Structure 1
Amino acid sequence: MPPEPEEVQVRPGVEDDLTALTDLYNHYVRETAITFDTAPFTPQERLPWLLSHPVDGPYRLMVATDTGSRRILGYATSSPFRPKPAYATSVETTVYVAPDAGGRGIGTLLYKALFEALAGEGLHRACAGVTQPNDASTRLHERFGFRYVGTYREVGRKFDRWWDVAWYEKEL
């Protein structure tokens, strides 16, 4: 059953979230091709990632928690699209939802909060790569106005198979 909006709080991520965020991400590392990381991380290894997403600016980390248990249900980020200076007005966005929280609108709440936080940051474009197949992620991105721009074929190898990545973009 989907949570009522008041049952879920979306807020900026903080250092106290690091262990839970690492555990959530490691599920996707170990069990899926959604990320092309292949070895789980320790919280200490993920600390630079967390610190690269401050509470303001173009690179954000938004966390959804259950208001009762305060358990992390998912997170969304905006990160540098590419390291070269001319890309500074573009970000890559992503969403990870706890495996038992999928289909409950958590990704929608996270993206809504993320894009509201990014308004006024001088950004021009958001990009998102979606490992195929991933119908839920495709629907989420399309719901937020992302448009499909192309697929990189067999660009990732994980679990002894090749994976395609579909790319989407959205004007900010």
Structure 2
Amino acid sequence: MSSPTPVALSVRDATAADAAACAALYAPYVRGTTISFEEEAPDAAEVARRIARAQERHAWIVAEEPGAGDSGGDGPRVVAYAYAGPFSGRAAYRWSCEVSVYAELGRRRSGVGRLLYGELFARLGRRGYRSLFAGVAEPNAASAGLHAAMGFERVGTYRRVGFKHGAWRDVTWWQRALGEDGPAGEPPAEPR
């Protein structure tokens, strides 16, 4: 079986109008996998709140595939998204953030994760963030491969940290530096 012809994707900042598409894309991960530790798929209203919260200090972006255009078809369609949020609520962690990416199940290992992460990391760098973290529920070879390819290093594993679909699950944590450290002892500029 041949792979589908790649379609040029565009990336942009998410808005509340993308919430229903992001919720629909995420729901199969919640319901049918251990990739997400949520047990109830959030609805569009909750995803809209999450998008707004991420956009305040971090970022939430979407990848779209073009629509049929003038031939009367639908407009662009969201096929993946990535976002960042706080790594921890403690003040000293404010230069660090946690990142995630989700693509339609049929698009995993298609390059869309790399595309989105590249754009997300550029936005986070411009905002002054210095360290990125990602938690990967095990086993998930596709996500481990993506994070390694994007310059993350495996830094540790929380054993039996979540219980989903009838079993205890491990989460491996990955870390990636973003930007350059300034002079020793000098605080970096505040994230914006």
Task: Report the TM-score range of the alignment, normalised by the length of the smaller protein.
Answer: over 0.9
Q: Which amino acid aligns with 1:140?
A: L
How far did 1:2 drift?
5.8
Query: What does residue range 143-162 of structure 1 map to in structure 2 within 5 Å?
Result: 143-162=149-168
1:17 to partner: Cα distance: 0.4
CA RMSD of aligned residues (A): 1.4
Identity among equivalent positions (%) equals 36
Name 1:48's counterpart in structure 2. 49
Q: Aligned residue for 2:6?
A: 3
The answer to which of 158-167 and 36-45 deviates more is: 36-45
- 1:124 paired to 2:130: yes
Q: Provide the rounded CA distance (Å) in 1 between the counterparts of 2:32 and 2:5.
A: 24
Deviations along 1:109-167, one digit per CA (max 9) or x if unpaired, are: 10111111122222110000000111111111111110000100110100111110000
For 2:34, the aligned partner's letter is A
Correspondence list, 1:24-63, <5 A: 24-54=25-55, 58-63=57-62
The structure 1 segments of at least 4 consecutive aligned residues displaced by more than 6 Å after TM superposition are none
Q: State the Cα distance separating 1:50 from its structure 2 match.
A: 1.3
TM-score, structure 1 as length reference: 0.92
Q: In 2, are the aligned partners of 1:2 and 1:105 still within 8 Å (CA)?
A: no
**What is the aligned counterpart of 2:80 among 69, 74, 85?**
74
Deviations 1:73-104 (A, max 9, x none): 11111110011111110000011011122221
Alignment check: 8 A CA contact 1:72 1:98 kept: no
Q: Which residue of 2 aligns with 1:166?
A: 172
**1:85 equivalent in structure 2:** 91
Q: What are the ranges of 5 or more consecutive residues in structure 1 without an aligned counterpart?
A: none
2:118 is the alignment partner of 1:112: yes
**Which of these two proteins has the greater Rg computed from alpha carbons?**
2
Q: How far has the Cα of 1:47 moved from its partner?
A: 2.4
TM-score (norm 2): 0.83
